[in-house]
Amino acid sequence: MSDPSADGGAAPASGAAAGSGAPAPGPGLGPGSDLGHGLGPGRDLDIDAERGVDGHLAPSAVAEVRSPLSDGQWHRLHPLTPVLRGGLFLIVVMGIVITNLRDRIVVWLLPGLAEWERYEGGDPVDYVWQNNLWLAAGLGVLGVLLILLGIFWLSWRFHTFRITGDDVEVRSGVLFRTQRRAPLDRVQGVNLTRPMVARLLGAAKLEVVGAGMDANVKLEYLSTANAEAVRADILRLASGRRLAAAQTAERRGVPITRAAAGAVSAGITGLIDGVDADAVEPASVVHIPTGRLIASHLLSGATIWLLALIAAVVVGSIVGTPWVLFTLVPTMIGFGAYWFRSITRSLRYSIAPTSAGVRITFGLFTTITETLPPGRVHAFEVHQPLLWRPFGWWSIRVNRLSGRAASDTQSQLFADVLPVGSTDDVERVLRLFLPDLTHDEAAALIADGMQGTGRAGESGESGRDGVRGDADVAPGGVDGASGDVDAGARDPYTTTPRRAWWLRPLSWRRNGLLLARGALLLRRGVLRRALIILPLARLQSVRISQGPVDRALRVANLTGHTVLGQVSGAIGIIDRDDALLAWQQVEAAAIAEAASDRSHRWDEAAAFVDAAEDRLIQGDQMQAGGVQAREEER
């Protein structure tokens, strides 16, 4: 359905609304990188040879592309894009308006009819038919439809996109031109959305999530097959594997142009010889029963507020007037709509690992598939509402650059990566996003972080163990072999001192922090338990603060800053000396983790491993050839 031809006649945009943002966390390849040499002058000259006349790098020089729409040329979207983006809604609204206001419309458009006074109050259709004006009316309706079709066609004609080796660009507008650009090294994820009407027409929309507010670039709409192929191409281009392979080839003395040509040839051979692994739908590692999903929404915090509101209304009707009871009807309708919308959005949930990242799918009527590349999640919150505790259910939400405001409902929708699950489900999901997490560390997270109460082996005024930063020792309280909780073990978290218990009267034993390997863990809440995981490589800054009461009690508050989202990285009422020590150790550990982090180029390591294996094979072949030559000389 998509037109794969290039739109060479469109003029450049005169005005731009480029989606930009902060650089992706973690350093890129530089002169000091442990994975390879930086981009020096010679490297720049070789890259220039692969660039087109407009200065953009050809996609084939960066990675194998499987879709004809990812060839670096301008393409148009699905022909039904204007209708799916709002044209159908516009037609429906116009039909309703014309049906209800047709008398007034006739008065406005035909004020000079001689017999109008006699007609007024009748049916315009009867008037047109009785006066033999059906031909003129039909031509008028046809003219309006042609005008609308012309506007839709112009909108589609000037709405184009292209995918290069550097970025994804979209330009639109007839009178006022707009051009948006998402650099591939800033891509935080790619979402594939299939609304119900678009799904019936075989169309879907892509949303390239950029790093920054309102930085997303949308491709609305493509055919479903083209959308899936383009999504895979964008993630493959953003992975950086081909760039790393080209660098490796250059260090071995192979020109980068030759390396790129060989890579493209290998990609074509792979298409002929085998099946693309990315095209196979991965199996979900978590299965959520429908009954559990519905029950989790009915037992959420909104239910507690509803029960409290019903109790208040009943008391008010008894004390005051019984008419207050009628307010329950719209309240129940509103909560019912909220529950229905929340449940249908969470149905058909699946989460699975792919070569491009973690793929999450959800939604009954509108199906959304998002792919989160490694290193794009900045914070995790594993939480448990009070009503879920008897069932042992937990939920996981994350902070990520979604290109939306934190208050946006869509942002809240994309924040939940596990709507509801058991502790085993939590471990599976966390190990998808944190592949370096060992079994013992996961068991400690569950026993000490999620379920820990802080009562075992209390440390009294100060618990320095929680901030000692010992990366070689797993948090205490868990048997590394069996994962069972040791009731007599010392709580590894630095918690609120006893002298400040009245500032956290319910949670002072549980409220604490722990600097673990590669992450800062924050544990808080008794009625609503929560464990916050802040990957050190993603931390933007760390703040320590005190108020007047805090200074009097010698306590302080620690905050780890990440991108804006639903997860708060703050922990309060910690011993002042412990908070200072944690602040210093987190600062040093975050700098070290960021310097060694390469998760934003998740395929580079695989490329260098492949190159090392190639060198070993070539060395073995050369050695075998030398032995054979010496034997022939003898």
The 10s digit of each residue's pLDDT in 203-226 is 898 888 877 777 788 888 898 888
- Name the fold adopted by 494-596: PH-domain like (2.30.29)
d(CA 183, CA 169): 9
pLDDT value for 326? 77
Q: Which amino acid is at 245?
A: A
Closest C-alpha among 235, 236, 276 to residue 372:
235
- From residue 624, how far is each of 284, 611, 614, 615, 627 by CA, in Å? 46, 20, 15, 14, 5
Q: Are the beta carbons of 438 and 357 closer than 8 angstroms?
A: no
Q: Is 586 buried (19+), middle (13-18) or exposed (0-12) by CB count in 10 A? A: buried
Could you tell me how many residues make up the chain? 634
Cα 403 → chain centroid: 9
- From residue 371, how far is each of 187, 254, 345 by CA, in Å? 11, 34, 17
Closest C-alpha among 440, 420, 285 to residue 358:
285
d(CA 107, CA 101): 10
Q: Are the beta carbons of 192 and 134 closer than 8 angstroms?
A: no
Q: Which residues contact 114 (CB under 8 A, 6 or more apart)?
A: none
Question: Would you kindly state where each structural domain of the chain is located, as residue ranges?
Answer: 66-277, 286-426, 494-596, 600-633
pLDDT value for 393? 95
Closest C-alpha among 74, 80, 77, 94 to residue 152:
80
pLDDT value for 30? 33
pLDDT value for 39? 35
Closest C-alpha among 226, 216, 230 to residue 187:
216
Q: Is 459 buried (19+), middle (13-18) or exposed (0-12) by CB count in 10 A? A: buried
Q: Are the beta carbons of 284 and 359 closer than 8 angstroms?
A: no
Radius of gyration of the chain (CA): 31
3-class SS at 282?
A: coil
Q: Are the beta carbons of 523 and 494 closer than 8 angstroms?
A: no
Which residue ranges in the chain fall short of pLDDT 70?
1-66, 86-128, 240-281, 402-413, 454-489, 599-634
Q: In this structure, what token pair is assigned to residue 567?
A: 């997860």
pLDDT value for 87? 59
3-class SS at 453?
A: coil
Q: In this structure, what token pair is assigned to residue 526?
A: 């008794």
Q: In this structure, what token pair is assigned to residue 516?
A: 């673990």
* Residue in the block written with tokens 């600097």: 515
pTM of the model: 0.71
